[in-house]
Amino acid sequence: MRPAPQPDKILVKILDFTINRGGSMEYALEDATVVKFTPQLSQVLVQIDEKGDIILGPTGMPVYSFTFGVQTQVIPKNRTLYIARQQPSVGTTTSSITL
Protein backbone atom coordinates (compact mmCIF):
# COMPACT_ATOMS: atom_id res chain seq x y z
CA MET A 1 0.00 0.00 0.00
CA ARG A 2 1.46 3.36 -1.07
CA PRO A 3 1.33 6.43 1.16
CA ALA A 4 -1.32 9.02 0.31
CA PRO A 5 -0.13 11.71 -2.17
CA GLN A 6 1.13 14.91 -0.59
CA PRO A 7 1.33 18.09 -2.68
CA ASP A 8 4.60 19.24 -1.07
CA LYS A 9 6.41 15.90 -1.46
CA ILE A 10 7.75 13.78 -4.34
CA LEU A 11 7.40 10.00 -4.40
CA VAL A 12 10.73 8.24 -4.97
CA LYS A 13 12.06 4.70 -5.10
CA ILE A 14 15.38 3.69 -3.52
CA LEU A 15 17.58 1.97 -6.12
CA ASP A 16 20.23 -0.62 -5.33
CA PHE A 17 23.61 -0.15 -6.98
CA THR A 18 26.99 -1.81 -7.40
CA ILE A 19 30.39 -0.24 -7.87
CA ASN A 20 31.72 -0.84 -11.38
CA ARG A 21 34.85 1.22 -10.93
CA GLY A 22 35.92 3.36 -8.00
CA GLY A 23 38.74 5.76 -7.69
CA SER A 24 40.28 8.75 -6.03
CA MET A 25 41.34 12.15 -7.22
CA GLU A 26 44.78 13.12 -6.01
CA TYR A 27 46.24 16.63 -5.85
CA ALA A 28 49.78 17.78 -5.06
CA LEU A 29 49.95 21.08 -3.18
CA GLU A 30 52.85 23.48 -3.62
CA ASP A 31 54.28 22.46 -0.23
CA ALA A 32 54.46 18.81 -1.50
CA THR A 33 51.46 17.75 0.59
CA VAL A 34 49.25 15.25 -1.24
CA VAL A 35 45.46 15.44 -0.86
CA LYS A 36 43.26 12.52 -1.95
CA PHE A 37 39.49 12.71 -2.40
CA THR A 38 37.42 9.55 -2.80
CA PRO A 39 33.69 9.94 -3.55
CA GLN A 40 31.42 7.38 -1.88
CA LEU A 41 27.88 6.97 -3.22
CA SER A 42 25.48 6.09 -0.39
CA GLN A 43 21.99 6.33 -1.91
CA VAL A 44 20.28 6.64 -5.29
CA LEU A 45 16.62 7.66 -5.61
CA VAL A 46 14.47 7.87 -8.73
CA GLN A 47 11.20 9.78 -8.97
CA ILE A 48 8.12 7.61 -9.52
CA ASP A 49 4.42 8.26 -10.03
CA GLU A 50 1.56 6.88 -7.93
CA LYS A 51 1.55 3.63 -9.99
CA GLY A 52 5.27 3.09 -9.32
CA ASP A 53 6.37 3.97 -12.85
CA ILE A 54 9.56 6.01 -13.26
CA ILE A 55 8.96 9.66 -14.12
CA LEU A 56 10.95 11.01 -17.05
CA GLY A 57 12.30 14.56 -16.93
CA PRO A 58 12.35 17.15 -19.73
CA THR A 59 15.30 15.42 -21.42
CA GLY A 60 13.52 12.05 -21.49
CA MET A 61 15.82 10.64 -18.80
CA PRO A 62 14.68 9.48 -15.33
CA VAL A 63 14.92 12.06 -12.54
CA TYR A 64 17.56 10.77 -10.11
CA SER A 65 18.72 12.08 -6.75
CA PHE A 66 22.16 11.06 -5.46
CA THR A 67 23.49 11.15 -1.91
CA PHE A 68 27.22 10.78 -1.45
CA GLY A 69 30.10 11.60 0.85
CA VAL A 70 33.74 12.29 0.19
CA GLN A 71 36.57 10.65 2.07
CA THR A 72 39.51 13.04 2.34
CA GLN A 73 43.08 12.06 3.12
CA VAL A 74 45.93 14.55 3.61
CA ILE A 75 49.45 13.14 3.33
CA PRO A 76 52.21 15.53 4.43
CA LYS A 77 55.47 15.75 2.50
CA ASN A 78 57.39 13.76 5.13
CA ARG A 79 54.52 11.23 5.43
CA THR A 80 54.55 11.61 9.24
CA LEU A 81 51.43 12.17 11.35
CA TYR A 82 50.33 12.16 14.97
CA ILE A 83 47.36 9.89 15.71
CA ALA A 84 45.50 9.12 18.93
CA ARG A 85 47.13 6.48 21.11
CA GLN A 86 45.06 3.28 21.21
CA GLN A 87 43.79 2.31 24.65
CA PRO A 88 44.57 -1.28 25.65
CA SER A 89 41.47 -3.46 25.95
CA VAL A 90 41.02 -6.48 28.18
CA GLY A 91 39.73 -9.71 26.66
CA THR A 92 39.10 -8.37 23.17
CA THR A 93 41.23 -7.76 20.15
CA THR A 94 40.72 -4.81 17.86
CA SER A 95 42.52 -3.93 14.70
CA SER A 96 42.73 -0.73 12.73
CA ILE A 97 44.02 0.02 9.27
CA THR A 98 44.74 3.59 8.23
CA LEU A 99 45.76 4.17 4.65
Q: How many domains does the chain have?
A: 1
Q: How confident is the model at residue 98 (pLDDT cuts 50, 70, 90)?
A: very low
Q: What is the mean pLDDT of residues 52-65?
A: 94
- The answer to whether residue 7 sits within a structural domain is no
Q: Tell me whether residue 86 is in a domain.
A: no
Query: From the CB of residue 26, how many other CB atoms can be counted at a distance below 10 Å?
Result: 12
Contact of 26 with 39, CB cutoff 8 Å: no
Whether 52 is covered by a domain: the verdict is yes
Residue 88 falls within a domain, yes or no? no
| Residue that wins the pLDDT comparison between 59 and 6 | 59
CB atoms within 10 A of CB 8: 4
